Every structure is written in structure tokens, then in C-alpha cells.
Structure 1
Amino acid sequence: MRVERIHDNKISVFLSMVDLKERNIKMSDLSPENSVIQELFLDILEEAYIQQGFEVEGYQLFVEAKPLPNYGFHISITKFEDGEELEGDYSSGYFINEIGDFYSHSIDHEMKSELVYSFTSIDSIQPCMKVLNKYSFAETNLFQLEDKYVLSLWDLDFDQDILSIVHAYLLEHGEKEYFSIAYLKEHGKPIIENNALENLNKYYKAGY
């Protein structure tokens, strides 16, 4: 994935066929209503912020995607403030009025299958363990992403009350993130792959 800054309010994103294949995305999947594409769009915006400092929170967006023969896709994203008039032909793309609304389905689905939180250090995860150890997770991973330690908890089959408890406790000691597992694997450094909670328990018990 390559991100180029056109000007302060516009970026171009180039997705190769390899990028799509790594995420198991087919050309026919490329619809803004598709939850897989919504997750990809989260990755794109995260990459745009990291590479180019392109911040979209509080803005409306215009998105246009065009296929590139034998390559993949070119996506342009323009951000603008409410009431601002955009120049040019905007009939070939779509507008996102509220970024939170666009992600609502994707995030609700993600909350039921994955929780992702970042911490300032491995030791700062320890206070959460007494709550996390009460529940069973199909897969848990720990990544380092720049100066953050990112804990990913997969396949939650909990009711909303339990989710709220886990969320509140993690939020007290960490920060909620919306990184996808594909993004973490591509940009993060794996610290513990699979069984992160079990290995963290051993780490804390050994007193390193």
C-alpha cells in the first residue's frame, strides 16, 4: 500500500493486487457497504495518518476508487468541513458524512470478535490480567507497534454485559484501538503470537 499526499486535504492511495490478496479481498468485494472493505478503509486511514499525518476525525470525506489495469486500485480521499463546497465533478464517488456512522457496523462486528488495546509497556498490561483470566479466548496476540504494545483478543462469544466489563477495565489501563489483525501483522512486531495471556501470566509470575 502506497499513500501520496496531493495537498493538505487530499491523498491518493495505491493498492496492488498483492495488497488485496494478503487481505483475501476480491475485486468483486470492493463495495463501501462490505464490512471487509470497511476494515480495509480503516487500515488505509491509519496508514495515511502514519505516513502522511492525514487526520480525518471531525471531517467529512469524499472517496473515489478506480481500477488500475494489471495493478490493483487507486483510491483518492478528500476531506472537507461541514458546509464547505467542493470543486470538480463528484459524481463518480461517494460521500461519508460521519466517519463514525460509516464504521458503526464494522466496529460493532469487530467488538464481538476482537478487542484491540494498546499499552505503554508490557508491565502496564498486568493489572488487566485478573479480569482477562476469568474468560476464555480462542486466540490472543501481543504486538509492538512503534512505542505501543498492542494486545489483540479474538473470538469473543460474550454477552454485552461481559463485553462492557472487559472493555471498561482495559480502557482504564490502556487505549482502545481499531487496528485490524492484517495491519498489526504487516506493520507491527510480534511479541507473543497465540496464547499471549498464558505467556504473559508466566512472565509476570517469573517476575522479570
Structure 2
Amino acid sequence: MKIERLSTDKIRIFLTFDDLTERGIQKEDMWREIPKVHELFSEMMEQAYSELGFDASGPLAVEVFALPAQGMVVIVTRGKMNSTSSDSADEEEDIYEMEVTLEESELISYAFSDFEDLLRMAKVVLPMLPEGGKLFSYKNRYILQVEPSDWDEKDSRYQALIAVMSEYGEATSVTQAVLEEYGKTVIAENAVQVLCSHFQ
């Protein structure tokens, strides 16, 4: 579980599927009101408080983005407090005063710190992915995002693609919106094909 502060009232939490499995939570459970999910949210908020000093009292807006093969990104935004009560029992209830929105992204997003690794990966996946893919530069790394829209997560090609990308790079939770705003677009479309044709 990785937690980072986006602003005074907003944090981002990246949960891997291992984080969920360890707690006996399936991806689909995040859509349901069950005690295990409440425990996970409590644990996330405690960790956010101890690591970042993020106080989760008051109303919270929680956005959950499911990313294929990587895990989930949870963005928590703190609303304004209506009362100034500091009663701990009230605060415990406030944690669950949250509005949850869920989105599932089909994007597969991998980061490569070495351009050579990115090229080697591109040459291996080209037969699987002859078109599509966007390449960004962000925080001194190359981030490749692909959207194999017609593949199912259980498809062997999908699994093979993830396996190769994991061998050369690492899954990242940076969203396309963040990359477009704060990163630099290196190759806007058909990134794998362009890389292979330019760098033999």
C-alpha cells in the first residue's frame, strides 16, 4: 500500500491486488458495503494519518479506480467540517461518512526507468500489440499506456503482455489525466510500433 499527498485535503493510495488478497478482499468487493472493506478503509486512513498527518475526520469523497493487472487507485478528498466536535466516537462515525465513486480503467500502465528496457520490451510485444499505445515521459521515467479493449483479463495474450511488461518495467498507478497534464507526450499513438520502426 503506497500513500501520497496530492494536496492539503487530497491523498492518493495505491493498493496492489496482493494488498487486497492478504485481507481476503476480491476486486469486486470494493463495490460492496462489507465489514472487510470498511476495515481496509480504516487501515488506509490510519496509515495516511501516521505517514502524512492526513486527518480523515469529516465527510470524505472517495474515488476508486480499478486498473487491470496492477491493482486499485483510491483518491480520498476531505470535505469541510460542519461541526468542531472532537469527540472520538463522533470521529469514528465520520470516517464512514463518505461518498464513493468507482471507475474501472482498461488501461495497462507500465513505467520504465531505462530507455533500453523500454525498447527491448517493445520488440517482444510488437507481435501481440501491432497498434495502439501511448508513451509519456514523467518524473524521469517513460510510461507506456496501452488499452487492449477487445481482450479479456483471462485471455492468454493479455496475460502474456502483462508478463512481458512486468519483466522489463513496473506497474504504475499514474492516470492518463495526470500524465497529460504534468508529463510530456513522447509518442501519441501506436507507441510500440513507432519505437520498433525507429530503433532497429
Task: Give the shorter-chain TM-score range.
Answer: 0.5 to 0.7
1:118 is matched with 111
2:134 is matched with 141
Any stretches of 5+ residues in structure 2 without a counterpart? 1-5, 12-29, 32-43, 62-75, 80-87
Any stretches of 5+ residues in structure 1 without a counterpart? 5-11, 15-31, 34-44, 67-73, 78-85, 97-101
Is this contact kept in 2: 1:142–1:196, CA < 8 A? Answer: yes
Is this contact kept in 2: 1:138–1:155, CA < 8 A? Answer: no
Distance 1:155 1:138, change over 3 A: farther
1:37 is matched with none
Is this contact kept in 2: 1:64–1:76, CA < 8 A? Answer: yes
Is this contact kept in 2: 1:142–1:191, CA < 8 A? Answer: yes
Is this contact kept in 1: 2:151–2:158, CA < 8 A? Answer: yes
Distance 1:138 1:155, change over 3 A: farther
Query: Deviation of residue 180 (structure 1)?
Result: 1.6
Provide Cα deviations, 1:128-184, integer angstroms capped at 9, x if missing partner.
123321124663111111111100112332242222111111111100112221121
Distance 1:158 1:180, change over 3 A: same
* Alignment root-mean-square deviation, CA: 4.0
2:187 is matched with 192
Counterpart code for 2:188: E
Q: 1:167 aligned to 2:171?
A: no
Is this contact kept in 1: 2:129–2:192, CA < 8 A? Answer: no
Provide Cα deviations, 1:100-151, integer angstroms capped at 9, x if missing partner.
xx99x85xx43xx211000012221122123321124663111111111100
- Which of 127, 132, 136 does residue 125 from structure 2 map onto? 132
DSSP 3-state at the match of 2:93:
coil
Rounded Cα–Cα distance in structure 2 between residues aligned with 1:155 and 1:163: 8
Equivalent positions of 1:65-104 (< 5 A) are 65=60, 75-76=77-78, 88-94=90-96
Identity between Structure 1 and Structure 2 (%): 18
1:13 is matched with 10
Distance 1:87 1:190, change over 3 A: farther
Equivalent positions of 1:50-69 (< 5 A) are 54=52, 64-65=59-60
Equivalenced residues, count: 135
Rounded Cα–Cα distance in structure 2 between residues aligned with 1:55 and 1:122: 37
Rounded Cα–Cα distance in structure 2 between residues aligned with 1:163 and 1:170: 11
DSSP 3-state at the match of 1:150:
strand
Rounded Cα–Cα distance in structure 2 between residues aligned with 1:127 and 1:136: 14
DSSP 3-state at the match of 1:194:
coil
Rounded Cα–Cα distance in structure 2 between residues aligned with 1:193 and 1:143: 8
Rounded Cα–Cα distance in structure 1 between residues aligned with 2:168 and 2:58: 36
Is this contact kept in 2: 1:63–1:75, CA < 8 A? Answer: no
Provide Cα deviations, 1:6-49, integer angstroms capped at 9, x if missing partner.
xxxxxx139xxxxxxxxxxxxxxxxx95xxxxxxxxxxx9xxx9
Is this contact kept in 1: 2:111–2:169, CA < 8 A? Answer: yes
